[in-house]
Amino acid sequence: MRAGTLRHQVVIEAPQHEQDPETGAMRTTWVEWARVWARIEPLSARDFIAAQAVQSEVTARITIRYREGVTAAMRINHSGRLYNIHGVLPDARSGREYLTLPASEGVNHG
């Protein structure tokens, strides 16, 4: 994959759990974990139909350079659009060049 295809600057956000001092209830807030360049591809109709057999919520494929520590508990924020990460797939060649993140658009736990 050429570097020019990673043209969307996105923020990877991680959940942070904290207790409300007044009510004692646990709440989740999101904090910036990393700012990276990505390729965001909406799934084609054929990809979407194939994905429904495995995971019906997946609507986009996000590709980033390999980065240690990215998990499915995180989310992607691209200009206010939120994408839930459904998995973290290493590239087929070395496993350490790119990560593919199957994702769906929407609010994730907060």
What are the DSSP E strand ranges found in the chain? Answer: 8-19, 26-42, 60-65, 75-78, 81-85, 89-90, 98-105
What pLDDT, on a 0 to 100 scale, did the predictor assign at position 108? Answer: 61
What pLDDT, on a 0 to 100 scale, did the predictor assign at position 1? Answer: 60
User: What is the rounded average pLDDT for all residues in the chain?
Assistant: 86
What pLDDT, on a 0 to 100 scale, did the predictor assign at position 57? Answer: 74
Which domains does the chain carry?
Answer: 3-105 (2.40.10.270)
Give per-residue pLDDT as tens, 64-100.
999 999 999 999 999 999 999 999 999 988 889 999 9
Label the pairing between strands 60-65 and 26-42.
antiparallel
Q: How far apart are the first and last CA of the chain?
A: 33
Query: Do 38 and 77 contact (CB within 8 A), yes or no?
Result: no
